[in-house]
């Protein structure tokens, strides 16, 4: 029996042995001799119980570890969820803050814009000086210009007439404004520079007052039976009738004719005081003083032949004692000739200039006893100045 016990002890597994030693150390029990007889089954039961306890402890430890891991995961999940919710809240707060910031910036911009409009403030850096306006009236167009500015992005011109206003924007410092000058009168013209991103628009220039005059329409003149006729010209106060001896000769004012309500006429008998001949006539419409109209150009030329008939001398007589012929000259023509024909053969011409009486001694030409007939007439060129009838002089 003792041998068996000893054998059992000898055959006891090493880990059980170590367990017993540990238990012995814990309980402060000292085993002087491991060979003391013990109930083998009791030892085995204790061993089994110890292993069971250890297994349970291990399993419990594992369960606790798993449970701890599960709890940790749950905790981590909850932490993640809380973190996500916190991030969402932070994102919402950031979005709200961004919206508030943008709204504040927009409000500041709007306030700055309003202040700029009200008080003339501008975000640009440098304000350009106002330009100086010049207007040039050429024969075929009217041009407005300003001095060139390298910093100007656009040149702006403002043209006002009465209640109407037109604005022209150009890349050039001069523009043609003929099409805007539709009526005669006083136009007000201003200009300014439109700046680039680094320049503020200039103020408008001083107002330039431009008097736009309109030329009256030239009359359209016709000639019939010694009378000039033309249609009334709008805004004309009167008409001047000019004449010249040829198309290149100086013109002289013949008469001034007042305007009418419809057609205007002029009788060319007024030329009777002028020398007979061909005349070149023109009519011009005359504008009213202090109006925005100017006199018209001359009308197209009208050719008029001023033909005059000379009157025969009167009171023609011959004195054979003195061999002298006398007569009265009723002509209104300033200059013409008197033709005296003796015996139907000898012709003598005397030039007269404004004379009303004429007495001629025929002795240097012919003796009284040789005279058989005398014929006298006022002599013209028979083109524009027609000769008078011949007067036969009675001999004593």
**How would DSSP label each residue in 133-182?**
EEEEE-SS-EEEEE---TTEEEEEEEEEETTEEEEEEESSSEEE-GGG--
Percent of the chain with pLDDT over 90: 53
State how far the Cα of 221 lies from the Cα of 282, in Å rounded to an integer. 8
What is the predicted pLDDT for the residue at 105?
Answer: 83
Query: In this structure, are 221 and 295 located in the same domain?
Result: yes
| Domain's final residue, options 89, 121, 153 | 121
Mean pLDDT on 97-104 = 78
Helix 2-11 crosses helix 40-119 at what angle (to 10 degrees)?
A: 20
For residue 324, give the nearest of 355, 356, 362 by alpha carbon: 362
Say yes or no to pLDDT of 51 above 60: no
Phi, psi of 103 (to 5 degrees): -60, -40
Query: In this structure, are 204 and 221 located in the same domain?
Result: no
Query: In this structure, are 54 and 14 located in the same domain?
Result: no
State how far the Cα of 268 lies from the Cα of 291, in Å rounded to an integer. 31
Domain holding 193, by residue range, is 126-212
For residue 357, give the nearest of 342, 380, 338 by alpha carbon: 338
For residue 160, give the nearest of 120, 188, 201, 125 by alpha carbon: 188
What is the predicted pLDDT for the residue at 57?
Answer: 53
What is the predicted pLDDT for the residue at 77?
Answer: 58
State how far the Cα of 36 lies from the Cα of 110, in Å rounded to an integer. 105
> Please, how many CA atoms are within 13 Å of residue 98, restricted to the half-sphere of its CB?
6
Query: In this structure, are 313 and 375 located in the same domain?
Result: yes
| Cα 361–Cα 362–Cα 368 angle in degrees, nearest 5 | 120
User: In this predicted model, which residue has the larger pLDDT, 30 or 360?
Assistant: 360
- Structure tokens, 136: 């040039």
Q: What is the mean pLDDT of the chain?
A: 81
- Least confident among 21-30, 103-112, 278-287, 362-371: 21-30
Query: In this structure, are 265 and 235 located in the same domain?
Result: yes
Query: In this structure, are 95 and 45 located in the same domain?
Result: yes
| Domain's final residue, options 188, 212, 236 | 212
Mean pLDDT on 235-242 = 96
pTM of the model: 0.55
| Domain's final residue, options 156, 191, 212 | 212
State how far the Cα of 240 lies from the Cα of 265, in Å rounded to an integer. 12
What is the predicted pLDDT for the residue at 55?
Answer: 52
Mean pLDDT on 303-331 = 92
- Furthest-apart CA pair in the chain: how many Å? 232
What is the predicted pLDDT for the residue at 336?
Answer: 87
pLDDT tens digits along 137-168: 998 899 999 999 998 999 999 999 999 999 99
pLDDT tens digits along 58-73: 455 555 545 555 455 5
Residue 277: which CATH number?
2.60.40.10
What is the predicted pLDDT for the residue at 354?
Answer: 78
In the chain, the number of structural domains is 5
Confidence of residue 124 (pLDDT cuts 50, 70, 90): very low
């Amino acid at each position: 029996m003792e041998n068996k016990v000893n054998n059992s002890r000898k055959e006891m597994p090493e880990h059980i042995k170590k367990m017993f030693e540990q238990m012995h150390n814990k309980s402060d029990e000292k085993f002087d001799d491991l060979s003391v007889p013990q109930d083998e089954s009791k030892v085995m039961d204790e061993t089994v119980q110890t292993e069971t306890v250890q297994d349970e402890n291990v399993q419990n430890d594992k369960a606790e570890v798993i449970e701890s891991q599960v709890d940790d995961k749950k905790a981590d999940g909850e932490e993640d969820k809380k973190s996500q919710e916190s991030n969402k809240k932070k994102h919402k707060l950031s979005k709200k803050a961004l919206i508030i910031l943008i709204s504040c910036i927009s409000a500041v911009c709007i306030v700055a814009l309003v202040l700029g409009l009200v008080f003339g403030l501008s975000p640009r850096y440098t304000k350009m000086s106002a330009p100086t306006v010049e207007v040039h009236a050429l024969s075929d167009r009217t041009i407005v210009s300003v001095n060139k500015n390298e910093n100007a992005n656009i040149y702006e011109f403002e043209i006002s007439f009465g209640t109407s206003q037109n604005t022209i924007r150009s890349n050039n410092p001069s523009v043609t404004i003929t099409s805007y000058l539709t009526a005669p009168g006083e136009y007000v013209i201003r200009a300014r520079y439109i700046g680039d991103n680094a320049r503020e628009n200039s103020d408008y220039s001083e107002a330039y007052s431009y008097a736009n005059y309109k030329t009256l329409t030239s009359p359209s003149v016709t000639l019939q039976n010694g009378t000039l006729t033309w249609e009334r010209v709008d805004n004309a106060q009167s008409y001047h009738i000019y004449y010249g001896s040829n198309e290149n000769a100086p013109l002289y004012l013949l008469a001034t004719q007042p305007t009418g309500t419809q057609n205007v006429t002029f009788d060319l008998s007024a030329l009777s005081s002028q020398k007979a001949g061909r005349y070149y006539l023109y009519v011009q419409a005359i504008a009213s003083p202090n109006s925005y109209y100017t006199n018209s150009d001359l009308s197209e030329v009208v050719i008029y032949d001023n033909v005059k008939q000379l009157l025969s001398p009167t009171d023609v007589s011959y004195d054979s004692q003195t061999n002298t012929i006398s007569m009265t000259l009723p002509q209104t023509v300033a200059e013409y000739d008197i033709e005296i024909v003796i015996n139907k053969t000898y012709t003598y011409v005397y030039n007269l200039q404004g004379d009303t009486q004429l007495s001629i001694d025929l002795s240097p030409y012919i003796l009284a006893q040789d005279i058989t007939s005398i014929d006298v007439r006022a002599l013209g060129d028979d083109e524009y100045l027609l000769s008078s009838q011949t007067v036969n002089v009675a001999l004593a």
